[in-house]
Chain A
Amino acid sequence: MSETVRSHTVLEEEDSQKDKYLTFIVDGESYGIEIRHVTEIIGLQKITPVPDMPDFVRGIINLRGKIIPVMDMRVRFNKPFREYRERTCIIVVDIRDLSIGLIVDSVAEVVNIPSGAVAAPPELARRGNRFIMGIGQTAGEVKLLLDIEKLLTDEEAEQLLDN
């Protein structure tokens, strides 16, 4: 009996995260990432630059003794670098034991986008498009939903394009 109750709560928790996206703004554009990948949101910290990294890897930060890299989403999406401001945030995401901080202009809100309201991205090979998992519509607004996993693992391809 207790077993069924437990699995029920697990399901519920998964359920409560399903279809939920954390949205943030980068260069005026609204993006969303699945909430289950997000560990925490922190303010800007002192970033220690690491040499020889691609531009979008700004360096590493000390997150309570854990050292994680931070990635500037503006630069990642080939937008011009902008000095960090008060509202600049770092979203810490955790995927397959890999922690990374995403620097965004500002964090907006958590929204619910049912899978029915997500459209497949257009098959346009525009750069940066590869990370778009789908286009979500909520309350008349359009959010670009990011495939975080791809964002973190597509480095090799990215580098080849660079050279």
Chain B
Amino acid sequence: MSDQRGDPIFEAYLAETTQLVDQLEELILACEHDGWFTEEAIHEIFRIMHTIKGSSSMMQYHNIAALAHALEDLFSHLRDHPSDPADWSGLSDLMLEGVDFTKVELHKLRNGEPADGEASVVIGKVDRLLEALKLGPGTGGGAADAGPASGGGLRQYTARLVFTEDCEMANIRAYQAYFRVKDWLADVRHIPEDLLNDPEADAVVRDQGFRLFMTTDRSLDELREALSGISCLKELELREMPPGGEADGKRDASGADAGGAEAGEPIATEARPAGGEPGNEPGSETGGESGGESGGVSGGESGGVSGDGVSAAGNAGGAPRREAGNPAPGSPHGTTIHVNVAKLDELMDLVGELVIAEAMVTQNPDIVGLNLERFQKAARQLQKITKEIQDKVMEIRMVPLATTFQRMNRIVRDMGRKLGKNVALRMVGEETEVDKNIIEHITDPLMHLVRNAVDHGLEAAEERLAAGKPETGTITLEALNNGGEVLILVRDDGCGLNRAKILEKAKARGLLHRPEADMNDREIFQLIFLPGFSTKEEITEYSGRGVGMDVVQQNIAEVGGTIAVDSQAGEGTVFTIRIPLTLAIIDGMNARVGGTLYTIPTTSIRESFKARAGDIITDPEGNEMIVVRGECYPVLRLHRLFRVAGGLADIPDGVLIMAEQDGRGLCLFVDELLGQQQVVVKSLPAYIRRLNRLRGISGCTLLGDGSISLILDIQGLFNINHEGEYSHVGNRAEPYGA
């Protein structure tokens, strides 16, 4: 096929199929984690394969379609014969193989190449598996045993809704209730069966109440919340069924009646007290148990352990993960559109220009000092709207980290298998959102860190057991908002960094510039980020391909982020990545020093004030300090630090700005404050960044009059101050500026 890029149908096909394949991969990994494919998952996979098959044959990508067709057949069989005790782990391998094949083909298409991959190998495997399944219903220990297994990850609930006596059209209310929860339900039965067309339905609901028998992965509380919102509701009985009761409740032809009787009887186990175990996701527990029972899936013990892992993750962010995973199953297609990121970038740039233009108008030198009441009013309105547009554009660009985090699942799985390590990946706070551009920049570093953690961080199983740790190593990805920045933590419970080895290596490579005794652990660990440092001797398939931690640091620094590492021998390692929420626009305070302008992010400013000459204390080394409300803060004179000509020398003439970061304070001495405004952050030219000499400057911005202001990097300034590097800047013959 010729290059179809740009064709809207082709683009739509690519976007849709890519999304489906991602969804599929995630689903498979989740199922594998639970130890089997739930009935719900099988249905979902079948639907996905069906869609991919349909659209691929329409686009005439026959190899993709053929593979999808084979997998669809397979899952159609699994769907109709849920009792087949399949080799789940082999199945997920095969599915992932199919996913990878499709991904490669899509990638080719995206690059304008023909999708010419040979699918027959994978298809052959699928066919063989299907044959085996069809042949071997007897081999697998009886369908009856597998009965409960088919509901794995799901729970059964019964509900009875009684409406108030004066309620009109109770059947419609009942239908409302059903409608509210129906998207969650893998299987549902209700009495009366036909709510809308049966003339008796109203009376039945009125007299006996509306009874629902549901199979879902939702928690009791979620169901309760959804159902209790129905108007005219008088009474809601909601119970979870014991797993044993499931066969009657679902499979039995007269299931509805039987279940109905049961619901009224005290046999049903008490519903879990609300809030008792709030985050305990249904399914995680069942998943763990069943993993233990079935044994052959992944080893009884690991099944149980991984079950724990999930429920722990569920505690913090289980629900959002589900939502992110199945992009709003019930939402109609018309509510979202796919937009090319390049267009969003353009829009963002335009909004940036708009913000500058607005400042140009409202802060125009021609109107300074004039009393223009109506103009000011209109200007304020303009400002408000600009701000709103800007917020909206930002919002559109914000993407949750969940997708990025989930990509790590696959890496952990594949690597764990190859290296023979049991690894569980926990995710916390993956709903945290950051700018799309930033996501792109941190995916690679994250992957690198996760690979490192699996490869070098976690010990082999025997070592772990010997150290009294659970056999399964845990890697935790955690994201959280912290003021104007997002923290991402990559934590493992492995052996920790080897302090002695790092020191030795640093010495051998001549990277150690300070006496060992002066360095604390943190500083020593930080050495691993230096270029040319890598402690792993042999190169493995996954990490140590000559790409070191310095590249990770560089990538993160490109988006204005920082990375730090902390480690406890024998207990594990934590990498902390700090990244700004957005790169594009910040609130800044403009200040002047000599002829140069600087912008300080408003979020970092605590206060600004004038000081008297006597307030400044100088220590024997010449470092200046000031005491404010009983606390002592260092004073940095920007003109001295940045060697700016013409800066004010006397403290009383200028202004002190107290900047703050991580609870530490620092006073910056500037000539004057020019006012606060929103600035569009531009990075400094590549040539300047490449010189790698910048300290304390994170970027620059254009002001309304076209002049350039340098944006201060408060964190960097703290570091400079900490190092006491005042005099280390290098002696320049003559100061800057003309």
User: A-side interface residues toward B, CB under 8 Å?
Assistant: 46-55, 57-62, 65, 67-69, 81, 83-84, 97-100, 152, 155, 159
Tell me if B733 is interfacial: C-beta within 8 Å of chain A: yes
Contact (A62, B707) CB under 8 Å given A48-B596, A69-B685: yes
Q: Give 1 or 0 for each of B703-716: 1 = CB within 8 Å of chain A CB.
A: 00011111000000
Q: How large is the interface on B (under 10, 10 to 19, 20 to 34, 35 or more residues)?
A: 20 to 34
Contact A52 B695 (CB under 8 A): yes
The 7 A-B pairs of least Cβ separation, nearest first, read A51-B642, A49-B736, A48-B708, A52-B693, A69-B685, A69-B687, A69-B688
Tell me if B372 is interfacial: C-beta within 8 Å of chain A: no
Tell me if B389 is interfacial: C-beta within 8 Å of chain A: no
Contact A49 B685 (CB under 8 A): no
Contact (A50, B694) CB under 8 Å given A57-B688, A100-B687: yes
Report chain A residues within 8 Å CB of B710: 48, 50
Contact A51 B687 (CB under 8 A): no
Contact (A83, B596) CB under 8 Å given A51-B697, A60-B700, A69-B685: no
- Which of B596, B687, B710: most chain A Cβ within 10 A? B687
User: B-side interface residues toward A, CB under 8 Å?
Assistant: 353, 596-597, 641-644, 682, 684-688, 690-691, 693-697, 700, 702, 706-710, 729, 732-734, 736-738
- Which of A48, A68, A152: most chain B Cβ within 10 A? A48
- Which of B353, B690, B734: most chain A Cβ within 10 A? B690
A100 → chain B closest CB, angstroms:
6
Report chain B residues within 8 Å CB of A83: 738
Bound together, the chains give a CA A61 to CA B707 distance in angstroms of 8
Contact B729 A52 (CB under 8 A): yes
Which residue of A is nearest B353, CB measured? A65
Report chain A residues within 8 Å CB of B690: 155
- Which of B641, B708, B732, B737: most chain A Cβ within 10 A? B708
15 contacts between A and B (CB under 8 A): A48-B709, A48-B710, A49-B642, A50-B684, A51-B697, A52-B729, A53-B691, A57-B687, A61-B708, A67-B684, A67-B700, A67-B702, A68-B685, A98-B686, A98-B687
Bound together, the chains give a CA A52 to CA B690 distance in angstroms of 13
B401 → chain A closest CB, angstroms:
30
Contact A50 B697 (CB under 8 A): yes
Contact (A84, B738) CB under 8 Å given A49-B644, A50-B694, A62-B702: yes
Contact B688 A55 (CB under 8 A): no
Q: Contacts A65-B353, A100-B685 known; list 4 others, CB within 8 Å.
A: A49-B596, A57-B688, A67-B682, A155-B690
Bound together, the chains give a CA A50 to CA B709 distance in angstroms of 10
Contact A81 B708 (CB under 8 A): no
Report chain B residues within 8 Å CB of A60: 684-685, 688, 700, 708
Contact (A51, B737) CB under 8 Å given A62-B702, A67-B685, A98-B687: no
Report chain B residues within 8 Å CB of A69: 684-685, 687-688
Contact B688 A53 (CB under 8 A): yes
Contact (A54, B691) CB under 8 Å given A49-B737, A62-B708: yes
B261 → chain A closest CB, angstroms:
75
Report chain A residues within 8 Å CB of B694: 50-52
Contact (A67, B708) CB under 8 Å given A60-B688, A81-B734: yes
Report chain B residues within 8 Å CB of A98: 685-687
Contact B738 A47 (CB under 8 A): yes
Bound together, the chains give a CA A65 to CA B688 distance in angstroms of 17
Contact (A55, B732) CB under 8 Å given A69-B685, A69-B688, A84-B738: yes
B585 → chain A closest CB, angstroms:
15
Report chain B residues within 8 Å CB of A61: 708
A85 → chain B closest CB, angstroms:
11
Which residue of A is nearest B691, CB measured? A155
Interchain CB contact (< 8 A) of B693 among A53, A58, A62, A97: A53
Which residue of A is nearest B694, CB measured? A52
Contact (A51, B641) CB under 8 Å given A60-B708, A62-B702, A155-B691: yes
Which residue of B is nearest A59, CB measured? B736
Report chain B residues within 8 Å CB of A47: 738
Interchain CB contact (< 8 A) of B696 among A51, A54, A62: A51
Bound together, the chains give a CA A159 to CA B596 distance in angstroms of 26
Contact B707 A46 (CB under 8 A): yes
Bound together, the chains give a CA A130 to CA B688 distance in angstroms of 21
Contact A62 B691 (CB under 8 A): no
Bound together, the chains give a CA A137 to CA B691 distance in angstroms of 34
Contact B688 A50 (CB under 8 A): yes
A123 → chain B closest CB, angstroms:
29
B591 → chain A closest CB, angstroms:
14
Bound together, the chains give a CA A127 to CA B317 distance in angstroms of 61
Report chain B residues within 8 Å CB of A67: 682, 684-685, 700, 702, 708
Bound together, the chains give a CA A98 to CA B684 distance in angstroms of 12
B4 → chain A closest CB, angstroms:
23
Which residue of A is nearest B709, CB measured? A48
Bound together, the chains give a CA A65 to CA B690 distance in angstroms of 21
Bound together, the chains give a CA A51 to CA B638 distance in angstroms of 10
Contact B596 A99 (CB under 8 A): no
- Which of A48, A51, A53, A62: most chain B Cβ within 10 A? A51
Which residue of A is nearest B708, CB measured? A48
Bound together, the chains give a CA A51 to CA B709 distance in angstroms of 12
Contact B706 A62 (CB under 8 A): yes
Bound together, the chains give a CA A83 to CA B510 distance in angstroms of 42
Report chain A residues within 8 Å CB of B693: 52-54
Bound together, the chains give a CA A123 to CA B732 distance in angstroms of 31
Report chain B residues within 8 Å CB of A155: 690-691
Report chain B residues within 8 Å CB of A49: 596, 642, 644, 736-737
Report chain A residues within 8 Å CB of B696: 51
Bound together, the chains give a CA A48 to CA B595 distance in angstroms of 8
Interchain CB contact (< 8 A) of A51 among B643, B706, B733, B734: B643
Which residue of A is nearest B349, CB measured? A65
